[in-house]
Structure 1
């Protein structure tokens, strides 16, 4: 994985080393999430050209080049009345021929899994520009709703790669294969066999998606 941090120092020293706004954001998180928050923060901050932006209410923290529509984003963590949620910018399905198609995905984790732990199990990826509303799961049709590009808004992990490239989204498919395998066209039979295996066996651990977001970030900065 990219930029994995080394051993952590003790919690008091780590807290003192955090910028004031970041420390205030962390203080609003449950104590049992603090260590994993520090780990994931170090991972994001190790990437090139990253800025850390904390909202005035200390309820949102964004990692990217800036907050505006035209800025690149890597990750966002929100801590609101709806709960804590991690968002990552990942490859996505688009109808246009945009070179690097990405979208903001929120993550719903299995019960009792840590919000930021790399080994936490992902149950749903939610493609959204706003919040993740758990109550949507009570809607029997939530799983078949789509955004304007035809990407399902709610996707189970083992369908993410398949759904994001459904309909011959060549740019997205090529992006996935480059990020995950380092291969570019023309693809031989071994690459296609590998890709079919990836589609069927997409990992469910949160760390895989964090790593994919970081690889996507570094590719976008080329």
Structure 2
């Protein structure tokens, strides 16, 4: 058997072309998911022989002219070419993408010393779900019998990846998963102080052990997202999760300590005039616009706990609450609930009313395009009843808002 060729991305590979990078998997909103398509690719490659014992992986991210094949393989016995295309989200154009790859590989015949091109090329698509259009496209292909659509899912309680019925135990740690041990603050502080004193000082400023542990959980979730960097100010009382410190950079979240109080800011979708004036979501060119929201909980002493109930959201482009607003949050809400920013988003809203505000439209009872864009997994799983199902979620819990901020971040990035 010929040795596997090295990937075109050698920084992710060790000797023999075997990937040594760890795929990122996160637990948010009671679900597991790969943080990116690259993480899915890394996972499949790391455990390729277990998941596809009849196949041999020739090269990951194989480039042919202007196209890149996620995984180019062959059958061990027949030497038949096999193309694997991986998607971390539903993609209705995946069939025709594979068809283009098939035509090109037949014309160019790469790895001709290892692949028998007298055999039909097998096309395999792997995704969490497939749109109805993909099944129709498959039926329309004259070589339908050579196309396979394989779905993957997670069994949360057992930490298992189920790929088309093949169950594989996940051997990696999972960000935000309750079974993952939270490091003790003393151990964190000792190990971090020499390398990242600002982060160690921030943990000390949090003071409360419960805050420290819940901050660490949030930190893991934020840092698991693509392009997110952790930025700590010199006083160690502010932490930003953003692309950079430059003006105009994108921000996911901020955690501040002011007067021994912890403040949390999330960048969430906000209401804008285009949502209410459009009768069809397809006519909205940019449905997702983000705003900087102060997250307020008056019922929970620990704001950073994912199970904390959130009472109010306050949109502010900078700064936090004024002294008067802090003294009586409920009164501040009553005074400001009818005031809006330029885009039409109310300055103060109750957390439980957030969904209604973002789905309001003057022409239709509801226009949930914002959530339809951010929750394609839920929509694909229940195309006709997803909106009713969506509204049954605990949308007043911090965990729900953190997950929404992460989804919005990934959508924008």
Alpha-carbon distance in 2 for matches of 1:7, 1:173: 37
Partner of 2:351: 157
Structure 1 CA distance for aligned equivalents of residues 362 and 249 of structure 2: 28
TM-score (norm 1): 0.83
Q: For residues 22 and 115 of structure 1, what CA distance do their matches in structure 2 show?
A: 19
Which structure: greater strand fraction?
2
In the alignment, the residues of structure 1 paired with residue 338 and residue 392 of structure 2 have an alpha-carbon distance, to the nearest angstrom, of 20
CA contact 1:157–1:202 (8 Å) conserved in 2: no
CA deviation after TM superposition for structure 1 residue 200, in Å: 7.3
Q: Does 1:30 align with 2:207?
A: yes
Partner residue, 2:223: 45
Gaps of 5+ in 1: none
The 8 Å contact of residues 51 and 65 in structure 1, kept in 2 or not, is answered as: yes
Any idea what the Cα deviations from partners look like across 1:47-79, whole Å, max 9, x if unmatched?
221111111222211001023442111100111
Structure 1's 106 and 119: CA in aligned 2 closer, same or farther, altered over 3 A? same
Match of 1:178 in 2: 373
1:143-177 deviation line (CA, Å, top 9, x unaligned): 222111111111112210111233369xx942311
C-alpha distance in 2 between matches for 1:207 and 1:196: 20
CA contact (8 A) 1:79 1:85 kept: yes
Conserved? CA contact 2:188–2:200, under 8 Å: no
- Secondary structure (helix, strand or coil) at the match of 1:47 reads coil
List aligned pairs for 1:58-97, cutoff 5 A.
Answer: 58-81=236-259, 83-95=261-273, 97=285
Which range moves more in the overlay, 3-12 or 98-107?
Answer: 3-12
Relative CO higher for 1 or 2, CA cutoff 8 Å, sep ≥ 6? 1
Q: Which has the larger radius of gyration?
A: 2
Aligned partner (choices 401, 410, 413) of residue 209 of structure 1: 401
User: Structure 2 unaligned runs (5+)?
Assistant: 1-27, 34-174, 275-284
